Amino acid sequence: MLPALGLAFLLALRLPKRDQGGAGSRHAGFRFDLPGVMFFAGFVAPALLALSQLQRLQVAALPAAAGLALLAAMALWLLLRQERRARDPLLPLGLLAEPTILRSNLFTACAHGALVALVSFLPIYLQSVRGLSPAMAGLLLLPLSLGSGIGGLTAGRLMTHTGVAAPLAAIGLGVGAAGLVAVALVAPLLPDLPLALLLGLVAMGIGCSYPVSQITVQVAAGAARLGAAAGAVQFFRTLGAAIGTALLGALLFGSLAAGDPEVAALFARLVREGARLLPQLGAAERAALGIGLTDAFRAAFLGAALLAAAGSALAWWVPVRRV
């Protein structure tokens, strides 16, 4: 991967010149924003590492998390300063400040954060709480994976035939939020297949937001800013996934630590070592872990529901409602 990234960087430096006003114009030629790239990397990497440290909910990790957060904040300040001065900025701040683009990016970050967090932690729930094998847990996650694609295709066809955009995302994310609340309340009472189908419905609702955010941002940006707008959507989704996973992980660890620190330590080992740890645990340890995780995942499902609900509210407030 690193050689490919290095090659892409060198190719970016050799982008062809453009002419927007003649040879004497100050806009003649493309100027690669190398300082912007460096400050951007200096912001994203420490910010993600800080979130990873906070997810552990350990006092010993707080100094490292605080130092990384301070480093990320300094890099962000330098990045914003650089992007205001750059002739060809990496991040066009004027574009990101437009209400339609900003809110579309934010609701897709909420949606992707909720979905990726669910995909990250549900295998632990299915194996530790419901006692499923890794193969069966994978099968029960299929509706979650397929649902997002079905939701995206459905929303795309509806946009094509009706022109309606943002309301589709708002309704879909609202359905996803309601489904997650239902999962939090009744998951222990549901058999495996109905639970998987309910999760598939949640994913369908969240999936409706993906084409809406992409198309809305591109329409609002226009042809001249299309590449920057499309790249911003992907960046917000990636950032939302990192933040959403960290938040749900913090809810899980926090709920377990508040109840039984020993169970929280077992869960931390389970996250590090994977499902191969479960056969090594005694019957009492597995029972305690299952009981603790049942309550902890209820909080996590409600946290994912809040993310989806926030995305729904943001989608309702997108000024451009038709494309």
pTM of the complete model beyond 0.75: yes
Looking at residue 322, what DSSP letter applies?
A: B
Q: What is the pLDDT of residues 108-117, one digit of tens each?
A: 999 999 999 9
Structure tokens at 210: 């993906």
CA dist 118 and 79 (Å) reads 32
Q: What is the dihedral of CA 274, 143, 48, 300, to 10 degrees?
A: -80
CB contact at 8 A, 282 and 85: no
Q: Which pLDDT does position 300 carry in this prediction?
A: 92
pLDDT over 60 (residue 25): no
CB contact at 8 A, 161 and 315: no
Q: What is the pLDDT of residues 140-161, one digit of tens each?
A: 999 998 999 999 999 999 999 9
